[in-house]
Chain A
Amino acid sequence: MATQKTKRYPVALNSGILQQLLAFGSLIILVLVFSLASDNFFQFSNIVGVLLSTAVVGVLALGATFVIITGGIDLSVGTVMTLTAVMTGVSITYWGWPVWAGLLVGLATGALCGFVSGVAVAKMKIPSFIATLAVMMIAKGLALVISGTRPVYFPTPEKGFKYSDISLDSILDKIIPGFKIPNAVLIFFCVAVIGSIVLSRTIIGRYNFAIGSNEEATRLSGVNVNFWKIVIYTITGLFTAVAGILISSRLNSAQPALGMGYELEAIAAVVIGGTSLSGGKGSILGTVIGALIMSVLTNGLRIMSVPQEWQTVVVGFVIFLAVYADILRRKKAS
């Protein structure tokens, strides 16, 4: 028995690392292929463009990673993102609140939506698929109601801080002149680092993996599973709010009908990054790589002028491959 256990562990670990390497390797190969195929791909401005277009879905995916590791799913992230954008917009533009207060309103909205999902899943025992579907519809409706079904535009003062600076200005440029990386990219990586620390260095992360691997065993070992689940869904909501702030500042407006479909892109990024939909396994680094693969793929295909219909087909195939790799890995591990 004991020998079997010690044998199994390294295999699982190795194939986990293998999956990460596989994803990272695919990313490198994609970048190489596109760079060879088109001179316009590997240029500073385009790489920055790719990173910028990864930011919104990337942050959403980082949040979704937490819930997916518990073995659940969050379908509400796309529309909750929209709702937080609308709440931020309404409080800044219509109520005239200062930007920092508007941002707090947005973050609180996201956290609250996550909290509601968490309570529904943990306490009311509604399957996460259904609970978050309900939250998705509620958020969608509220976004339309609160905004009056029209876009909310942020004020653009002639001088000083503009709301769009949150995404598009570059703090890095001021520190290292010429290094013009938009803040949205910086925020994406900061959020990733925070997410990674939470997931790998804190008790939240440890319980997150434990719940995902074996919820019953975790409960029996004295962990308050319900409480931690609510915490985890709330964290996902908070990350989603950050994505809402990013998308609204990039468009300098909160578009109330936007956001549908973004949850699926986020889930795809998580899955491509090697996080298992059956829970218990996953990493933030994987999700960052997954999100990058998605946007490198679409950007590269666009630059090669591949028709849009085919771009969608290719992304679909990549999702197939990613999930199949996950299944192979688990087969090997057991």
Chain B
Amino acid sequence: MKKSFRSWSMATLLLAGIVTVTACGKNANENSSPSQEASKKPTASQAAVSEKLYIPIICKGFQHQFWQSVKIGAEKAASEFGAEISFEGPETEEQVDKQLEMLQAALGKKPSAIGFAALDSKASIPLLQQAKDKNIPIIAFDSGVDSDIPVTTASTDNKKAAALAADKMAELIGGKGEIAMVVHDQTSRTGVDRRDGFKEQIESKYPEIKIVDLQYSGDPLKATDLTKAILQSHPNLKGIFGSNEGAAIGVANGVKESNKTGKIIAIGFDSGKAQLDAIRGGVLSGSITQNPIGIGYETVKAAVAAIKGEKVEKNVDTGFFWYDKNNIDSEEIKAVIYE
């Protein structure tokens, strides 16, 4: 009796698993455009252009809402151009190794092209070389790769965007004083570009502003404690910059917990509910947002063009915006910020 119960429950579990998996598979197909319904066979052989295009998109970590918006853009382009995409990424933006495994797995599925947002701009090069050898076009997005293998890079010019944050910071603190930075990591292209873009702009254009501290964390809790320590050790600090969603949430929390709301100019990067609330509540003075939907859309669009052998620009600048209390509810900004 006991044994049969056990084997039955095992069988039920297995069955449930299979049903879920097939249901998910079905879902993915339903998303595809009706014109391509006939060729439902998913990417069995080396992709010929006439067959359904399969483009795996590998992002950096799907917990931030930013990537959900990129996904929306990618899906929009996929249905417009009749491609099939998959969208995945490691759980946190520190897991370079996990992401490389995903890239490896994607290569094994004989895709028509791959969209890839590198967590570590150098570590992925050997795998990208493999893709090149197999004639699979790589479309870099969000952050570039230190190599000329990708046919194009669809991204925000992070250096320029961070320079805009620096200009706003200078404007808001009145052109002089001490400021600090919390940067989300030391290895990714976006981390490096936003850090350098902000720093170089301050150093070259505003000689009376001094960057007195620079720390790294994209974990909201750690960035909170970090911000508080920075505020503690620099009582004259006038402004602080957080370089992504996690870092900016941390900066906002740290300013709030130190009771410095309104006394410190805090500027963020990216978007998300916590950041929008912080801007509306006056904790953050403003933030830079990229255009994540545009990034996803341009990535898939460029991938399709590359597969068809059309000429693609080496860089697709997907744009960025400054938003604050005054324009947060405008139509232009609403389209590019995400909750």
Contact = CB atoms under 8 A, between A and B. Distances in A.
B258 interface: yes
A258 B232 contact: no
A302 interface: yes
A153 B68 contact: no
Contacts of A150: 63, 65, 68
Given A168-B257, A251-B220, A299 B225 contact: yes
A43 interface: yes
Contacts of B65: 150-151
B232 A303 contact: yes
A75 B272 CA distance: 31
A256 interface: yes
Interface in B201-241: 212-213, 215-216, 219-221, 224-226, 228-230, 232-233, 235
Contact of B235 (A40, A153, A255, A304): A40
B91 interface: yes
Contact of B62 (A40, A149, A156, A251): A149
Contacts of A144: 63, 91
Contacts of A299: 225, 229
A247 B216 CA distance: 20
A311 to B, nearest CB: 9
Interface stretch (A45-53, A98-106, A203-211, A224-232): A45-53
A214 interface: no
A56 B224 CA distance: 13
A52 B222 CA distance: 12
A41 B233 CA distance: 7
A257 B221 CA distance: 12
A149 B213 CA distance: 33
Nearest to B256: A168
Interface string A62-96: 00000000000000000000000000000000000
A281 interface: no
A334 interface: no
Contacts of B229: 46, 49, 299, 302-303
Given A150-B65, A258-B221, A46 B91 contact: no
Contacts of A156: 277
A253 B272 CA distance: 12
B274 interface: yes
Contacts, number: 80
A255 B63 contact: yes
A40 B233 contact: yes
A302 B215 contact: yes
A200 interface: no
A48 to B, nearest CB: 9
Contacts of A56: 221
B61 interface: yes
A49 B221 contact: no
B65 to A, nearest CB: 6
Contacts of A38: 233
B63 A257 contact: yes
B334 interface: no
Nearest to A305: B213
A298 B225 CA distance: 10
Contact of A153 (B62, B230, B274): B274
B314 interface: no
Interface in B93-126: none
A187 to B, nearest CB: 16
B220 A257 contact: no
B92 A257 contact: yes
A40 B91 contact: no
Contact of A247 (B62, B68, B221, B233): B221
Interface in B42-79: 61-63, 65, 68
B156 interface: no
A72 to B, nearest CB: 26
Contact of B232 (A40, A250, A255, A308): A40
A302 B253 contact: no
A325 interface: no
18 contacts: A38-B233, A40-B233, A40-B235, A46-B228, A46-B232, A49-B232, A49-B257, A144-B63, A168-B257, A250-B253, A251-B220, A251-B249, A253-B274, A255-B63, A257-B92, A302-B233, A303-B232, A304-B233
Interface of A: 38, 40-41, 43, 45-46, 49, 52-53, 56, 140, 144, 149-151, 153, 156, 168, 247, 250-253, 255-258, 260, 298-299, 302-305, 308
Interface of B: 61-63, 65, 68, 91-92, 212-213, 215-216, 219-221, 224-226, 228-230, 232-233, 235, 249, 253, 257-258, 272-274, 277
Given A151-B272, A151-B274, A260-B92, 5 more contacts: A49-B232, A49-B258, A144-B91, A257-B63, A302-B215
